[in-house]
């Protein structure tokens, strides 16, 4: 089994104008040949320009969502094929902000992941419990349900990445203990192997997301079955994201 290539993924959310592309230039200058995969998911308006900025560099571009349909009367939405044409290699799906703000169900996330993979994108599928669910000791049950409902029928290391993002840790400065991260990542690995076979289960990269920053990245990357991070706020500044990349390269 080939070792899983680590992945540092940045989610800019609804942040970033053309001036912010200078952060991408600075990131590429700091990591001319990164020792891990690096992905930036800017708002849709910047995707094409960011992809052009990264042309010839290992840094990949991604979308933050796509529609499950290939085209049609879906005002304001973007298809997977459109993201691909704009230069995306990945798309984040089922982020907790999409699930909360747009009422996305597991079934919708699954339909989007199928569309993304069919179009040639790798799907970064997010799962994670709310604080109330953790406090009522339902975390693993919720993760199992989200995995069962959101993942496509077939997965591989090239087509799917799973991001464990506890909702209460996103943008809050709070993080689970390292033991809690290990428990969930080991559980996700076991669920993937159980549901999709050991080869596929072993090949899929598992990212931790939720208040990852330069000061806690190294200890999180040392946790079992953590293959990288999905980073929100700290991906907006090249200096912060660069420090996280460096920590991942060293892990």
95 as an active site residue: the answer is: yes
Binder among 206, 232, 244, 245 for ligand PEP (CB under 6 A): 232
CA angle 145, 190, 246 (to 5 degrees): 100
Residue 168 beta carbon to ligand PEP: minimum distance, rounded to whole angstroms: 10
57 as an active site residue: the answer is: no
Q: Is 170 in the site for ligand PEP (CB under 6 A)?
A: yes
Determine contact, residues 22/49, Cβ cutoff 8 Å: no
- What's the longest Cα–Cα distance across the chain? 48
Binder among 37, 165, 227, 240 for ligand PEP (CB under 6 A): 165
Q: Is 166 in the site for ligand PEP (CB under 6 A)?
A: no
- Taking the C-alpha atoms of residue 5 and residue 210, their distance in angstroms, rounded to an integer, is 21
Nearest-CA neighbor of 90 among 68, 123, 113, 115? 123
Residue 153 beta carbon to ligand PEP: minimum distance, rounded to whole angstroms: 25
- Taking the C-alpha atoms of residue 93 and residue 80, their distance in angstroms, rounded to an integer, is 11
Choose between 34 and 210: whose C-beta lies nearer to ligand PEP: 210
Q: Is 34 in the site for ligand PEP (CB under 6 A)?
A: no
Determine contact, residues 160/153, Cβ cutoff 8 Å: no
Q: Is 209 in the site for ligand PEP (CB under 6 A)?
A: yes
CB-nearest residue to ligand PEP = 232
Residue 11 beta carbon to ligand PEP: minimum distance, rounded to whole angstroms: 4
Binder among 36, 59, 230, 247 for ligand PEP (CB under 6 A): 230
CB atoms within 10 A of CB 30: 15
The window from 18-26, 41-49, 79-87, 208-216 that contacts ligand PEP (CB under 6 A) reads: 208-216
The site map against ligand PEP for 116-155 (x = CB under 6 A) is ----------------------------------------
- Taking the C-alpha atoms of residue 211 and residue 224, their distance in angstroms, rounded to an integer, is 18
Sign of CA dihedral 93, 98, 99, 103: negative
Active-site pick, 31, 95, 97, 191: 95
Per DSSP (E only), the strands in the chain are 7-11, 37-41, 60-63, 88-93, 122-127, 160-164, 205-209, 228-231
Determine contact, residues 193/145, Cβ cutoff 8 Å: no
Binding site residues, ligand PEP, CB under 6 A: 11, 165, 170-171, 209-212, 230-234
Active site residues: 95, 165
């Amino acid at each position: 089994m080939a070792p899983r290539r680590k992945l540092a993924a940045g989610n800019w959310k609804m942040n970033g104008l053309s001036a912010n592309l200078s952060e991408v230039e600075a990131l590429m200058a700091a990591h001319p040949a990164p020792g891990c995969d690096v992905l930036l998911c800017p708002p849709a308006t910047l995707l094409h320009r960011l992809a052009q900025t990264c042309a010839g560099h290992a840094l990949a571009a991604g979308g933050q969502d796509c529609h499950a349909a290939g085209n049609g009367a879906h005002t304001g939405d973007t298809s997977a094929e459109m993201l691909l044409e704009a230069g995306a290699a990945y798309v984040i799906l089922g982020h907790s902000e999409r699930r909360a703000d747009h009422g996305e169900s597991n079934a919708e996330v699954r339909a989007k992941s199928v569309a993304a993979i069919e179009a040639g994108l790798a799907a970064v599928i997010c799962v994670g419990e709310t604080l109330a669910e953790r406090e009522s000791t339902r975390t693993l049950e919720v993760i199992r349900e989200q995995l069962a409902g959101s993942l496509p029928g077939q997965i591989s290391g090239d087509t799917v990445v799973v991001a464990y993002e506890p909702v209460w840790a996103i943008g809050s400065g709070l993080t689970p203990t390292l033991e809690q991260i290990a428990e969930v990542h080991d559980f996700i690995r076991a669920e993937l192997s159980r549901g999709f076979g050991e080869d596929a289960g072993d090949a899929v990269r598992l990212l931790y997301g939720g208040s990852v920053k330069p000061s806690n990245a190294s200890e999180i990357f040392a946790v079992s079955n953590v293959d990288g991070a999905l980073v929100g706020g700290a991906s907006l500044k090249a200096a912060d994201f660069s420090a996280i990349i460096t920590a991942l390269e060293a892990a």
